């Protein structure tokens, strides 16, 4: 959404970044800074530093850096606008949107009203379950399933009384809001009637943790449907919603894998045994939109269905997901007759083990097919091999197919070359009905060379610095291709349109050793003690291009946050890093400026001498000789103890007049 810049700055200014960060990790004051263990990578020695005055943080270990908005985006996996809205709500700031987005603003306001209605409903149902005498049967039922008070509070479970308008009387909402929020309907008598009655309530939340729908479960074996969900509406679309994702997203990003279940109780069961990366579809099959969401956080999706259900997933669709979203879909094989909730209740170790040995989807299906043949006769082995080849033909990757051919050859005792030939014939016959091209990526010709262009996605947990052309990065832990540091896994999305500030991207792109000492010292002064150098620094004094760009960003901004927000990736990261450093007390502005001025003068002197030695323009030689002599003398004077301020100003002006970019 087009949140106006003034409101974004108000949110930044109103947010106490130390208080915000200490909600997740403890910080201790060290001089003017706050330090602690980095929340973005595992470490034993603190390398995470926070500048409370300017509202910036930086980790010298993994390179994570930014402001309060960045921190919320990274830790809660929100888009830029969602993070601003979250902080605005925290600071009780009303946001405004660009005039061109007035319609969006109106829609956002309506959404807030609906979200508020859902939140009030969830809170009321939750209180009913905890305290109402008539909810005793529901409490007893939950205890029998192993749900104690801690679980009930963590997942905000509730109870809908056996009354037709108990909720509507409590909330006193307009008919429009009551209906659009999915809380009930208006009956023939023109009165509001609750959608849920005599059911345990499971709140369904968006990724930010705000309730957008309700699911109700009966506790008695009557003729009513076991589960009842809110109808789809402005807040709730089943094809986009995963139950428990708001609680699981951090674990999914951290572990690099997501467990997908069928039911709400399955999710709670996984979480109760420490597997907090579990989510569930809301009464619908897994969709491409579900996979798009999960693929932003992990590249491994485990289906924790019962065996029959897992085998019934649309094969073509899963293989297409694997190719389009560059992820692996695997199957958690459960014992016959078990679901995650039941197995977690009586044998949690077995459930953990099943997750640990999940099989790729194709391997799971191939195993089931081959196991259905007795393999005792040549004919049965041939039928098994043929069925296996038909499965392989459905997969779009020839390298993957060839790997599984070895398994079929071993199990069915066939020559591998013969199977390859048979598979090739099968693929030729089925070519007309082959897999459709992926819609997840396009190939665009640029300067005669094909370039893959990824889809632009405005929602990510991660982010790129403004103007950056590199993909986002995210956080994963060790394991297979996830063995790189958490801060560096690519999330396949480009920067959101309205992003103002970077999140983490790659490791710190340079060492401070790559930057001349006086130039880095000058930038530190410009950040920490700007009054001492504000009128004495000029672009010509910086030879390093990154330092030049950083100086220009600082000089053109009214605050550090504005400089960071409007800069490219490298500049923003350098400013952020400098902002959280302690400046040595012995750093004298006059000394730093003189060293800069001498270095700049020597660079110009070297250029003049090079031109004179080249002798390409004899007519210009006298002028070059005169300028060289004048400049050499000024450098000698500047290096002495008796240099006047007038000489400094004269030399600086000459350098500005004769500045040329280094070749």
* Long-range contacts, 50-55 (Cβ 8 Å, 24+): 50/17, 50/18, 50/21, 50/580, 51/579, 51/580, 52/16, 52/17, 52/18, 54/559, 54/560, 54/561, 54/579, 55/12, 55/13, 55/15, 55/17, 55/561
Would you say residue 604 has pLDDT above 90?
no
- Sequence-ordered strand ranges (E) for 447-543: 449-454, 472-474, 489-491
Please give the residue that has the higher pLDDT: either 268 or 476: 268
Q: CA-CA distance, 332 to 353, in Å (whole number)? A: 9
pLDDT at 449: 30
Residue of 566, 591, 318, 576 whose CA lies nearest to 435: 318
Assess whether pLDDT exceeds 70 at residue 405: yes
Give the mean pLDDT of 159-166: 94
> What digits encode the pLDDT tens for the residues 359-402?
888 888 888 888 888 888 988 889 999 888 988 888 877 888 88
471-505 per-position pLDDT tens digit: 323 222 223 333 223 222 222 222 232 333 333 33
For 280-309, how does the pLDDT look when each residue is reduced to its tens digit (9 = 90+)?
999 888 888 888 888 878 889 999 987 555
86 and 22 inside one domain: yes
For residue 118, the model assigns a pLDDT of 95
Look at residue 113 and tell me if it is in a domain: yes
pLDDT digits (tens, 9 = 90+) for 512-558: 445 778 888 888 888 888 877 777 888 888 888 888 888 888 888 88
Q: How confident is the model at residue 154 (pLDDT cuts 50, 70, 90)?
A: very high
Q: Supply angle C-alpha 115, 173, 78, rounded to 5.
A: 5
Domain final residue pick, 236, 261, 286: 236
Query: What are the helix (H) ranges across 470-620?
Result: 517-528, 530-533, 545-555, 560-565, 569-579, 589-614
pLDDT tens for 585-598 read 566 777 888 888 88
Helices (H), 398-441: 398-412, 416-429
Same domain, 167 and 220: yes
Residues 124 and 212 in one domain: yes
Q: Which among 338, 321, 339 has a CA at the least distance from the CA of 330?
A: 321
Q: Show which of 556, 579, 602 is a domain's final residue.
A: 579
Q: What is the pLDDT of residue 439?
A: 34
Check pLDDT > 70 for residue 74. yes
Of all residues in the chain, what percent carry a pLDDT higher than 90?
26
pLDDT band at 222 (very low <50, low <70, confident <90, very high): low
CATH value at residue 134:
3.90.980.10
Shared-domain flag, residues 522 and 639: no
Does 231 share its domain with 114? yes
**Nearest-angstrom CA–CA distance, 20 and 18:** 5
Sorting pLDDT into bands at 50, 70 and 90, what band is 640?
A: low
**Residue 279 maps to a domain:** no
* 141 part of a folded domain: yes
Q: Answer whether residue 437 shows pLDDT above 50.
A: no
Would residue 565 count as lying in a domain?
yes
A 10 A CB-CB count for 255 gives 21
Would the pLDDT of 642 be above 70?
Answer: no
Whether residue 564 is contained in a domain is answered as: yes
Supply the pLDDT for residue 132: 94
Structural domains of the chain, count = 4
The pLDDT confidence band at residue 223, using thresholds 50, 70 and 90, is: low
Listed residues 411, 429, 447: the one ending a domain: 429
Domain co-membership, 631 together with 520: no
Average the pLDDT over each of 160-174, 234-248, 629-643 and give the range with the smallest value: 629-643
Tell whether the model's pLDDT for residue 623 goes beyond 60. yes
Query: Quick one: CA dihedral 582, 584, 585, 591, positive or negative?
Result: negative
Average pLDDT on 350-360 reads 92
- Cα(577)–Cα(570) distance, integer angstroms: 11
0.85 cut: is pTM over it? no
> Would 174 be classed as within a structural domain?
yes
The answer to which of 454-458, 531-535, 550-554, 630-634 has the lowest mean pLDDT is 454-458
Task: Write the burial class of residue 617 (CB in 10 Å: 0-12 exposed, 13-18 middle, 19+ buried).
Answer: exposed
Query: Do 597 and 554 belong together in one domain?
Result: no
Assess contact for 12 and 68: CB atoms under 8 A.
yes
463, part of any domain: no
Indicate if 514 and 626 belong to the same structural domain.
no
Does residue 368 sit in helix, strand or coil? helix
Lowest mean pLDDT among 141-155, 168-182, 318-332: 318-332
Residue 567 within any structural domain of the chain: yes
CATH number of the domain encompassing residue 91: 3.90.580.10
More confident site: 313 or 20: 20
Residues 198 and 120 in one domain: yes
Contact between residue 160 and residue 167 where contact means Cβ atoms under 8 Å apart = yes
The answer to whether 56 and 13 have CB atoms below 8 angstroms apart is no
Comparing 482 with 325, the larger pLDDT belongs to: 325
Give every CB contact of residue 97 below 8 A, 6+ residues apart in sequence.
1, 2, 3, 4, 104, 105, 108
Same domain (yes/no): 517, 598: no
- Tokens for 280? 């569930």
Mean pLDDT, residues 229-247 = 91
Question: Does 229 lie in the same domain as 147?
Answer: yes
Segment 79-89, tens digit of pLDDT: 888 889 889 98
Range of the domain at 635: 589-657
C-beta separation of 338 from 306 below 8 A: yes
Return the structure tokens found at 407. 């398994």
**Same structural domain, 563 and 600:** no
Task: Provide the pLDDT confidence category of residue 271 given band limits of 50, 70 and 90.
Answer: very high
Q: Is 599 exposed, middle or buried (0-12, 13-18, 19+ CB in 10 A)?
A: middle
Q: Which residue would you say has higher pLDDT here, 540 or 116?
A: 116
CA-to-CA distance for 157 and 130, rounded, in angstroms? Answer: 9
Mean pLDDT, rounded, of the chain:
78
């Amino acid at each position: 959404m087009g949140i106006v810049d003034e409101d974004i700055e108000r949110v930044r200014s109103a947010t106490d970044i130390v208080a915000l960060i200490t909600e997740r990790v403890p910080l201790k004051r060290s001089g003017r800074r706050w330090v602690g263990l980095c929340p973005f990578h595992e470490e034993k020695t603190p390398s995470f530093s926070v500048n409370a005055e300017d509202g910036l943080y930086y980790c010298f270990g993994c390179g994570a850096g930014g402001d309060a908005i960045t921190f919320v985006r990274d830790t809660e996996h929100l888009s830029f606008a969602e993070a601003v809205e979250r902080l605005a709500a925290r600071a009780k700031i009303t946001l405004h949107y660009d005039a061109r987005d007035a319609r969006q603003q109106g829609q956002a306001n309506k959404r807030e009203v609906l979200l508020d209605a859902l939140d009030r409903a969830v809170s009321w149902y939750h209180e009913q379950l905890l305290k109402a005498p008539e909810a005793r049967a529901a409490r007893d039922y939950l205890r029998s399933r192993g749900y104690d008070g801690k679980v009930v509070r963590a997942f905000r479970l509730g109870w809908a009384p056996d009354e037709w308008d108990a909720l509507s009387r409590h909330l006193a909402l307009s008919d429009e809001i009551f209906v659009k929020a999915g809380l009930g309907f208006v009956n023939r008598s023109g009165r509001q009637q609750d959608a849920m009655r005599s059911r345990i309530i499971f709140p369904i939340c968006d990724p930010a943790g705000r309730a957008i729908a309700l699911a109700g479960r009966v506790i008695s074996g009557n003729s009513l449907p076991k589960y009842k969900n809110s109808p789809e509406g402005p807040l709730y679309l089943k094809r986009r919603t995963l139950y428990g994702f708001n609680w699981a997203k951090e674990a999914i990003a951290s572990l690099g894998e997501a467990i997908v279940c069928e039911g709400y109780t399955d999710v709670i069961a996984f979480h109760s045994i420490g597997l907090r990366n579990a989510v569930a579809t809301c009464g619908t099959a897994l969709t491409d939109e579900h996979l798009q969401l999960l693929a932003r956080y992990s590249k491994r999706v485990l289906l924790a269905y019962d065996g029959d259900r897992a085998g019934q997933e649309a094969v073509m669709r899963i293989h297409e997901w694997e190719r389009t979203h560059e992820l692996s879909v695997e199957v958690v094989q459960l014992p016959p007759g078990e679901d995650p909730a039941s197995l977690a209740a009586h044998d949690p170790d077995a459930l953990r083990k099943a997750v640990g040995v999940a099989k790729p989807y194709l391997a799971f299906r191939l195993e089931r097919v081959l196991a259905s043949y007795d393999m005792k006769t040549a004919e049965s082995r041939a039928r098994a091999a043929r069925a296996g080849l038909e499965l392989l033909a459905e997969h779009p990757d020839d390298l993957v197919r060839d790997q599984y051919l070895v398994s079929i050859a071993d199990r069915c005792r066939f020559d591998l070359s013969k199977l390859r030939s048979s598979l090739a014939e099968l693929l030729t016959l089925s070519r007309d009905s082959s897999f459709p091209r992926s819609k997840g990526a396009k190939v665009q010709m640029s300067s005669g060379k094909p370039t893959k262009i990824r889809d632009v996605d405005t929602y990510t947990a991660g982010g790129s610095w403004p103007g950056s052309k590199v993909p986002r990065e995210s956080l994963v832990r060790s394991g297979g291709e996830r063995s790189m540091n958490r801060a560096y896994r690519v999330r396949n999305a480009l920067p959101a349109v309205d992003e103002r500030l970077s999140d983490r991207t790659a490791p710190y792109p340079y060492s401070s050793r790559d930057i001349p000492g006086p130039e880095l010292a000058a930038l530190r002064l410009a950040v920490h003690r700007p009054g001492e150098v504000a009128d004495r620094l000029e672009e010509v004094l910086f030879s390093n291009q990154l330092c030049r760009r950083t100086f220009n960003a600082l000089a053109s901004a009214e605050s550090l946050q504005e400089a960071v927000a409007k800069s490219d990736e490298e500049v923003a990261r350098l400013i952020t890093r400098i902002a959280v450093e302690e400046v040595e007390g012995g750093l004298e502005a006059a000394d730093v400026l003189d060293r800069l001025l001498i270095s700049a003068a020597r660079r110009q002197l070297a250029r003049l001498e090079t031109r004179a030695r080249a002798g390409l323009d004899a007519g210009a030689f006298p002028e070059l000789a005169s300028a060289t002599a004048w400049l050499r003398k000024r450098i000698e004077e500047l290096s002495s103890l008796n240099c006047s301020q007038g000489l400094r100003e004269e030399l600086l002006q000459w350098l500005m007049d004769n500045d040329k970019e280094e070749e």
